[in-house]
Amino acid sequence: GLGTVDFDVFALLMLFSVHISLCGAVSVQYGRLVTFGKVGTLSKIQTVCEIVAFVVVATALINDFGIVSLGFGQLASSTTALTLSHLALSPHRFRMPRAGETRRIIRFVTSILLSRAAFFINDSLVLIIVGAYLGPASVGFFRAGGRFAGAIADAISEAMRVTSWSSLQRAFGEAKENGTLETEKGRPIPPPEAADSLLRLIGGGAYVVIPAFVGLALVAPSFIVLVLGPNWHPAAIILSIVALRR
C-alpha cells in the first residue's frame, strides 16, 4: 500500500507520470515545427526549456525539496515546451490524419513502442540485478556514470535529429516545387538529395561523436571527481565503459 512507500518516491512517480504523458504531445509539436520550417524556433524553445528546468530544480533544491526537485524540473520543461510550441504554431491549424495515414501512423508507432519496450526491459533488468546483489549505492553509481554519457549522447543525437528533419523537409519541399517528387502507392519517395544529405550528416556526426566519447572515457575519473566529488569516484569506471560502448 501507499503507507509503505516513501513520500519522495511517490511524489517523483506522480511528477514523472504527468511529465511523460506530456512528452508525446511535445514530440508531435516539435515535428510540426520542423514540418513548417521553424527549426530555429524549435531550437530556441528547447533552450528556454532547459533554462526553465534548471531554474526550477535549483529553486526547489534551495527550498529543501530534495530529490523531488528533479521531478519539478522535468514537469516544468515539458509544460514550457508544450506551451511555447503551441504559441509558435498558432497560425497553423492542426490537421487530423486521413484514414490511410492513420493506419501507417499506427504501424509506425507500434514498431517504435515495441523497440522502446525492449530497451526499457533491458535497462531496468540491469538495474534490478545490480540493486539486488550490490545494493542501492551501486545502483546510484551505475546510473550516474550512465547518465553523464547519456546526456552527451542525447545532446548530439538531438542536434542530428533536428538537422536531419530539416534536411528532409527542405529536400521534399524543393522536389515538390520542381515537380520531381515521385510517389509509390500514394506515398512520397525520398528524393536522392535527401539521402545525400543524411549520409553527409551521419559522416559529419561520426567526426564529432567518436572523439567526444573517447575523450570522455579517458578523463572520466577526473571528470566525476570534479563534478560530483570524490565519494562518487566508483561511477568513473561505469562512465568510461558506457562512453566507449556508445
Q: Which residues of the chain have pLDDT under 70?
A: 1-7, 94, 96-101, 122-123, 179-195, 246
pLDDT of residue 190: 65
Q: Cβ–Cβ contacts within 10 Å for residue 80, how many?
A: 20
End-to-end CA distance of the chain: 40
Q: How far is CA 237 from CA 1, 151, 175, 225, in A?
A: 38, 17, 49, 12
User: In whole angstroms, what separates CA 77 from the centre of its chain?
Assistant: 12
- The distance of Cα 52 from the centroid of its chain, to the nearest Å, equals 17
Are 84 and 48 in contact, with CB atoms under 8 Å apart? yes
Q: Estimate the crossing angle of helix 7-35 against helix 68-88, to 10 degrees.
A: 20
Each residue's pLDDT tens digit, 148-166:
888 877 777 777 777 777 7
Name 188's bridge partners.
183
Cell triple for 215: 575523450
CA distance 246 to 91: 41
What is the predicted pLDDT for the residue at 2?
Answer: 40
Amino acid at the residue 228:
L
pLDDT of residue 147: 79
Question: DSSP state, 92?
Answer: S
If phi over 0 gives left and psi between -120 and 50 gives alpha, with beta otherwise, what is residue 181? beta
**Phi, psi (degrees; rounded to nearest 5) at 184:** -140, 115
**CA-CA distance, 47 to 40, in Å (whole number)?**
11
Return the H-helix or E-strand segment holding 188.
strand 187-188
Query: In the prediction, which pLDDT does 4 show?
Result: 45
